[in-house]
Structure formats: C-alpha cells, structure tokens
Amino acid sequence: MKISAEIVPPNAEQLARAAALLVAGELVAFPTETVYGLGANALDDAAAAKIFAAKGRPSSNPLIVHLPSSSAIERVALLHDPRIRNRFERLAPLWPGPLSIVLPAAKAVSRLVTAGGETVAIRVPRHPVARELLERCRTPIAAPSANQSGYVSPTTAQHVFDSLGESLTMIIDGGPCSIGLESTVLSIIGARPRLYRRGAIGAADIERRLGEEIELAPIATGASTGRPQPSPGLLAEHYAPHTPIAFFKSELLRSLEPCDAAERIGLITIAPRPDLSARPDRVVRWLSASGNLDQAAAGLFAVIRELDQLGLKQILIERCEEIGIGEAIMDRLRRASARSSNKS
C-alpha cells in the first residue's frame, strides 16, 4: 500500500509526534531557513538508508548532520586537532545559520551518513521550527534537501509533497524558507579551508573570521571524469529542472520571433522588465519587485518549479550580479543550466 505524507502545522503536539518518529528511525521532512530537509536519525544506519532510498541518492553522496546547538558538537565530530578547533571556534558565531562545516567524524555517526568517509558536515539551523524539533529529538538528525536527487531543492511543504509525498508520512509546514538556497558547505580540515558549496554566508565573510584564505573547490564536470568526487554537490549538473534552462542574452530575446503557443518558453528576470511582456508564446516571471537579490534567492526555486510544470520548450533566466547572495544564485543557475548548455 502506498503511503501519502501528511502536511502538519508546527505546533507542540505535531513536533512531539515528529520527534518520536525520528527517534524511532522514520523519515520526517521539516523546514529550515535555507530549504526543507528530509530528516532521519544520524546515528542509525537503517534510518539513514531510508533517506538514500527515498531520494534515489547515490550512496557516495554524504549527508549534513543537524544539531540544535554547537554544544552537542562532540557527539558527532572530533575537535582535538588544535588547528581544526581554532578554526571551528572562529566560525561557531555564524551558528545558528546557513553554514555547514565539514569536520572529522566521530564514531557514533552512521557511515551511511558520511558515505563511508571519515568526515561529516554539521549544521545548526536558525529556523525556529527546526531548532525546536532538533531539541526534542535529542539525537543528531541527518537531513539532505527534501527533493529527488539532482532536482531543485524544496522551499515549501508543498514542494516536498510533490517530490517525496509517497516516501514519507509527515511533512512539517513552516511556511516558505526565508533564504531559499542551500547552506554554504566549508571544510576546515586540510592545510587550507575549502569551500565546497556557495550559500548565503559568503567566502569573504568566512575568510575575515578565519583570518586566512580559503580555497574554492573546482566545479566537477561529472562522473565522466572517472575521478572520485570529494563533494558530490560540486557536480556541474545538479539542482536542475526537467525543462532545459539557459541564461538569456538580450540580443537573443530581440531576435525571438513569436512562436506557436505549444512551443512556449519561460523567462525569469530578477526585477520586473517592462520590455518583456507576457505573450501567448512566453511566460514571464520576475523574482523581486525592487531587484533585491535576497528576495530573488528566496523565490527562485519556487518559480523554477512552477515553470517546470508547464511543459515549456525552454526556460531562459537572467544573470545577476555576483555580490552577496548573488554568488550563490549564479552558482546554482550555472549548475541548473549545465545539462542544456555547458556554456557560461
């Protein structure tokens, strides 16, 4: 018999139920300030295995472990190396927040969560519902974004239902995520700290706090290189909708002749563009009335998901300035468009 997830409000009764399910080894989806997570007990192999099965996620891709506060860190990570501890202490003030820190993993963490490796990514989320849930669980919770592997991350409870509604019993509805892009992922283990994924916490802020330069992990070009992937979220083709997506060039738009409505395209701009009105052959969406990039980030995945359901021939999206969260927006858009273009 197929199950269908229940979307529940984040009240005390439902959070107690959710915590009990998680402790018992079941999956529960919950809101964070970045995207919705698909949670499971991080110390329980069987529970972690359910995450990989539900998402169709390769077992080589490790999961982020979520804690209610940094005081529980030594249950899941080893901090005895003085250089690692020093870096950790400099970054800890960014928690709770959208930063995942890769550290040497403690024995208790399921080796499914670490994908068999010796390191683990840890995050203390800021969202009040996530924090209350984590406090109630009293066990670390592994949670990837609650989408099918490779697809766009969910920023509402309905997005989770659309992707995984038949694979879990409970989705906690905390409203739309305020940031809307996945956390920054940073390893502080090696000779140099290494940025694996861009997010709302930018490289410059991290460098200032650490007092040292960080290196940017190169964008991997996919499994075809035959080399092992240090962090699968680095794959060039990731976070992609089913509809081909590409950056638009204004010249290209001017040359776009009206076409058959069955060949419709989608256009996504950062701010409203009076020159790009809707026509039967195109659907136009903008992300922020004032062109604000934080707002654009918060709504981006919802708009991509919406347009992806319209059977469009292509989605064209405007580039944004790579400042602040604009770095992370452009990072995700390059990956989303890699399958169709391999350019830019």
- Binding stretches for ligand TXA (CB under 6 A): 32, 34-35, 37, 61-64, 100, 102, 114, 117, 119-121, 123, 125, 143-145, 182-183, 185, 196-197, 231-233
Distances (CA, A) of 307 to 141, 229, 242, 266: 32, 31, 10, 7
CB closer to Mg ion out of 97 and 154: 154
* Closest distance of CB 287 from ligand TXA, Å: 19
- What is the C-alpha to C-alpha distance for residues 53 and 90, in angstroms, rounded to an integer? 37
* Closest distance of CB 167 from ligand TXA, Å: 15
- Contact between 325 and 178 under an 8 Å Cβ cutoff? The reply is no
- What is the C-alpha to C-alpha distance for residues 240 and 153, in angstroms, rounded to an integer? 9
Cα 199 to the center of its chain, rounded Å: 9
- What is the C-alpha to C-alpha distance for residues 74 and 267, in angstroms, rounded to an integer? 47
Residue 14 contact partner, candidates ligand TXA, Mg ion, none, CB within 5 to 8 A by sort of partner: none
Handedness of CA 209, 210, 213, 216 (dihedral sign): negative
Residue 196 contact partner, candidates Mg ion, ligand TXA, none, CB within 5 to 8 A by sort of partner: ligand TXA
- What is the C-alpha to C-alpha distance for residues 49 and 40, in angstroms, rounded to an integer? 9
Query: Six-digit token pair at 254?
Result: 């001017």
**Is residue 337 near Mg ion by the rule CB under 5 A?**
no
CB closer to ligand TXA out of 193 and 266: 193
* Closest distance of CB 138 from ligand TXA, Å: 19
Q: Angle, nearest 10°, between helix axes 326-338 and 293-308? A: 20
CB closer to ligand TXA out of 185 and 317: 185
* Closest distance of CB 273 from ligand TXA, Å: 30
Residue 143 contact partner, candidates ligand TXA, Mg ion, none, CB within 5 to 8 A by sort of partner: ligand TXA
- Contact between 33 and 27 under an 8 Å Cβ cutoff? The reply is no
Site for Mg ion in 115-154 (CB under 5 A): 145
CB closer to Mg ion out of 41 and 145: 145
Residue 269 contact partner, candidates ligand TXA, Mg ion, none, CB within 5 to 8 A by sort of partner: none
* Contacts to Mg ion by CB under 5 A: 145
